[in-house]
Amino acid sequence: MSIVNSFELPSSDGSIDEGFFRTRRDQSVIGWYTVGNKPTAADSAVHAHVSELVDASPSIFLLFNPDIQDDAKQLPFAVFESALTDGTEADKAGKFVQLEVGVEAGEAERIAVDDVANESASDSDPSGQIASLSRQRNAIAMLHDRVRVIQQYVSAVVAGIAPADHEILRQCAALVATLPVMDGSEFNKELRTEYNDTQMVSYLTTLLGQLNTLSSVTDKHWALHPPQSEDMGMKHGLNPKMGGQLFGSGRRRGTSRR
């Protein structure tokens, strides 16, 4: 039995609105959950009510413990089902039997969680970058191997070599449906745009760096070789205040003025 989804129901007096179950006919209700340290008599009454509504037999009771310590090694929840006495369920008597549970994760989720955990543990490692790249390479290699196995199986089914397992094919179809769909031409156009933008930013950064260097060299040149005096600059046709640019004399040539 697997728990893949849950939803909340308002319950103040121990009763449950049955309308919530009628609107979710596409889902199979297998039990209910609440918070607490251990099952109580009120939980037994609710469990008896839920057992009459759900399709699963017997129904399960998931109890979350909010007071568990942070350093505890056990999961913060427990799963119970009604105890059987002489072939009948003892819901009203408040007798529950705790079940063994486990947490399973998908392949992609395990890869992501393992990568994050290893990165957090190696923050103080001076060679953490190399270790991180090695983990990513191993994860990508493992993912590539799994995808190749799927591709080989589907090809064998299409060729009639391997028998078709509809459950596996449905899982493959669900996996493909989760991948983003992108047209090849649109992807290439977006890639070229991103590449051009990156190159433009790189060129502008280099140009600004060169201009900054040129400005620094110019300032050092004027600091080491300042003009001797304003008169000397005027004598040679240079005006220090104008940045050493050439300018004409006060006498106009080739023009007449009345």
Sign of CA dihedral 69, 74, 76, 81: negative
What does the pLDDT look like over 2-12, one tens digit per residue? 666 777 776 66
When pLDDT is averaged across residues 137-156 and rounded to a whole number, the result is 90
Average pLDDT of the chain is 74
pLDDT higher than threshold 60 for residue 231: no
Considering 135, 155, 184, which residue would you say is the last residue of a domain? Answer: 184
What does the pLDDT look like over 218-227, one tens digit per residue? 988 888 888 6
Burial of 81 (0-12, 13-18, 19+ CB in 10 A): buried
pTM score above 0.85: no
Residues 22 and 100 in one domain: yes
Residues 37 and 94 in one domain: yes
Residues 135 and 69 in one domain: no
Considering 162, 184, 206, which residue would you say is the last residue of a domain? Answer: 184
pLDDT higher than threshold 80 for residue 175: yes
Q: Token digits for 207? A: 């140009």
Domain-embedded: residue 229: no
What does the pLDDT look like over 190-202, one tens digit per residue? 889 999 999 999 8
Residues spanned by the domain of 17: 11-104
Domain-embedded: residue 211: no
Domain-embedded: residue 48: yes
